[in-house]
Structure 1
Amino acid sequence: MVTAATRPPTDARERILSTSYDLFVQQGVRAVGVNEIIATAGVAKATFYHHFPSKDDLVLAFFERRQQLFTVGYLAAECERRADTPRGQLLAIFDIFDEWFHAPDFAGCPYIRALLETGPRHTIGAAALLYLDDIRSSVEKAATAMGLTNPEDFSYCWLILMQGAIVSGVGIDSGSSSRIKRLGEHLIGLHTPAEARTIS
């Protein structure tokens, strides 16, 4: 759905990053080796290490690119395009997920996979946690704008729904997003102040 082809390679560093982007998304950061990236990108080993002193440096650059292209450039932009209220934008996430899950190249979330592969104490796992928490923080801001009770608790619960939908969508249930969207509506109701529920 969102590949590195969005930004055509213009130099060696970009070729390496673009190549690794697609490989990491499809196979995970642990499964892809430096030699495979070098061969696929068509660069010399010395060139690779000139731009990325280690594979971890490349993975961190990949995480940043993933945020630019997918989290912000696609997911957040699509939520804003599809709805004009914080509530509508939050629920739109699961409609977008449904389309993503049914895409032929869907392979799950690179951040979740990297965290599970490396653990939270590893440089890569810790970085993945930061990107996931950035998503949670955006949800917390939306919850605050909606006037929900305990926006922080809501954001953690919402992130659980998002992550659960993605993990389930990988192979257990491609329709998980529509099911979890109903849980999202229930979660919003649980965090809606009693007086607001009475008014509505």
Structure 2
Amino acid sequence: MVGMTSNPYFAASAPIPARDRILRTAQDLFYRQGIRATGVDRIIAEAGVTKVTFYRHFPSKDVLIQAYLERRHAAWMAWFREALSSSRAAQPEAERRRAPLVPVLDAARAWFGLADFRGCAFANTVAEAGEAALPIASIAAQHKHEVRDAIAALLSPNVRARADIAWAATLALDGAAVNAQLGQASTDAALDGLRILLDALGSRPPLP
């Protein structure tokens, strides 16, 4: 998971209860190291809790992974919606009509620019989960649908295939996030490609 101090959608706080401490430790380690590479013993040690305390709150690692994704989903979506809203508010009215998906590009630029950026936590976790993927995939699917809905809200209700355009923009964002993990040159190329795709998607004509 992304670092708690450098990430705008996870704020640092005062000392917290054991369950939250476990979750915060897990979300950092799972995102940075992956769910397979991160063992329960390491989470227990870094969270500063006992095994009894850990298993009282999370009977298994799979339960912890699901809680991690649910927590990240809520926090990331709050950040993403605010990023879209702020960017849209800064657009001149003419640009909103001409290029309604610019806020997605602005949000992507901010996201990819984080020092601890490691791509999409949901895609990464599903890819690692293997046989445990079903409940995890359900959370990931919900996340992607809400990303699509947030993007759709940028588009006029009169735009043809509004939901399809928003879904295509979501896929474009996902693809850019994968490539942005490969270094600065790849990040720049990913953002350039994303801009082209979003411009094309946002220029669809309204319904007659």
- Superposition TM-score tier, normalisation by shorter sequence: 0.7 to 0.9
Residues 5, 18 of structure 1: 8 Å contact kept = no
Task: Extract structure 1 runs of 4+ deviating beyond 4 A.
Answer: 85-89
Considering fraction of residues, name the structure with more helix.
Answer: 1
Looking at structure 1, the residues matched to 14 and 34 of structure 2 have their Cα atoms a distance apart, in angstroms, of 22
Deviates more, 1:90-99 or 1:9-18: 90-99
Q: Kindly tell me: are residues 58 and 107 of structure 1, through their superposed partners in 2, closer, same or farther at Cα, counting changes over 3 Å? A: same
Root-mean-square deviation (CA, aligned residues, Å) is 2.4
Q: Kindly tell me: are residues 134 and 96 of structure 1, through their superposed partners in 2, closer, same or farther at Cα, counting changes over 3 Å? A: closer
Q: Kindly tell me: are residues 31 and 5 of structure 1, through their superposed partners in 2, closer, same or farther at Cα, counting changes over 3 Å? A: farther
Residues 81, 150 of structure 2: 8 Å contact kept = no
What is aligned with 1:102? 113
Task: Give 1:14's match in structure 2, choosing from 10, 14, 20.
Answer: 20
Matches within 5 A, 1:13-32: 13-32=19-38
Whether 1:80 and 2:85 are equivalent positions in the alignment is yes
Unaligned segments of structure 2, at least 5 residues = 1-5
Unaligned segments of structure 1, at least 5 residues = 196-200
Matches within 5 A, 1:62-73: 62-72=68-78
Question: What's the offset of the Cα at 1:193?
Answer: 2.4
Matches within 5 A, 1:80-159: 80-84=85-89, 90-118=101-129, 121-143=133-155, 145-159=156-170
Question: What's the offset of the Cα at 1:75?
Answer: 1.9
Matches within 5 A, 1:172-191: 173-175=186-188, 176-189=190-203, 191=204
Residues 148, 188 of structure 1: 8 Å contact kept = no
Normalised by the length of structure 1, the TM-score is 0.84
Normalised by the length of structure 2, the TM-score is 0.81
Whether 1:53 and 2:59 are equivalent positions in the alignment is yes
Question: What's the offset of the Cα at 1:23?
Answer: 0.9
Residues 100, 106 of structure 1: 8 Å contact kept = yes
Paired residue total? 192
Deviations 1:126-184 (A, max 9, x none): 321221122123323443x3421012211221111110110010116111123311210
Deviates more, 1:118-127 or 1:20-29: 118-127
Question: What's the offset of the Cα at 1:12?
Answer: 0.7
Q: Kindly tell me: are residues 34 and 5 of structure 1, through their superposed partners in 2, closer, same or farther at Cα, counting changes over 3 Å? A: farther
Q: Kindly tell me: are residues 38 and 121 of structure 1, through their superposed partners in 2, closer, same or farther at Cα, counting changes over 3 Å? A: closer
Q: Kindly tell me: are residues 132 and 28 of structure 1, through their superposed partners in 2, closer, same or farther at Cα, counting changes over 3 Å? A: farther
**Percent of residue pairs identical:** 31
Deviations 1:68-115 (A, max 9, x none): 32221x221122112237766732222232232232211111011112
What letter matches 2:57 in structure 1? H
What is aligned with 1:198? none
Looking at structure 1, the residues matched to 88 and 140 of structure 2 have their Cα atoms a distance apart, in angstroms, of 28
